Amino acid sequence: MAGKNIERRERIKKGVRKKISGTTDRPRLSVFRSNTGLYVQVIDDLKGTTIASASTAELGLKKLNQETSKNVGKKIAEKAKASGVETIVFDRNGYLYHGNIKALAEGAREGGLKF
C-alpha cells in the first residue's frame, strides 16, 4: 500500500514541477514532509542554489503537528526576508494542500511572504 502512495505522489510531483519554476525574483518554496519532521527550502532554480532553509529539527521541535508546521513557516519567512525575498512560488511537492502543508503556508504568509 505504501508503494502506491509514494508512486502517486511522485507522479503528482512531476506534473507540478513541469508548471512551476523558481526565478531570482520569485524563488520556489519547496516542502518535504516525513513522518517525524517538515523540511522547507527557498530555491532559485535558475542558479541552482538554496537561498534559505528551515526544518522542525532545526527549531528543536520533536512533534509534527499543525502548530509546529506554522512555526516552521514563520521561520522560513523570516530567513527569506533577511535574504531579500518577498514573493515566492509555493511547491507543495505532490502533497495535498491540507493539514501540515496548509499550516506551513499560513505561517509563511503570516511571516510576510507573498504567494
Show me where the domains of the chain are located.
Answer: 2-111
pLDDT tops 80 at residue 29? yes
pLDDT tops 80 at residue 16? yes
**Model pLDDT, residue 1:** 56
pLDDT in tens, 5-15: 889 888 888 88
pLDDT in tens, 30-45: 999 998 999 999 999 8
Query: What's the CA gap between 115 and 36, in Å, rounded?
Result: 26
Instruction: Between 23 and 2, name the one with better pLDDT.
Output: 23
Q: Is-above-0.85 flag for pTM?
A: yes
Query: What's the CA gap between 112 and 78, in Å, rounded?
Result: 8
* Cα 73 to chain centroid, rounded: 8
Query: What's the CA gap between 104 and 75, in Å, rounded?
Result: 10
pLDDT in tens, 58-93: 999 888 999 999 999 999 999 999 999 999 999 999
Query: Are residues 72 and 56 in contact, defined by beta-carbon separation less than 8 angstroms?
Result: yes
Query: Are residues 16 and 43 in contact, defined by beta-carbon separation less than 8 angstroms?
Result: no
Query: What's the CA gap between 46 and 9, in Å, rounded?
Result: 25
CATH 1.20.1580.10 fits 2-111, yes or no: no
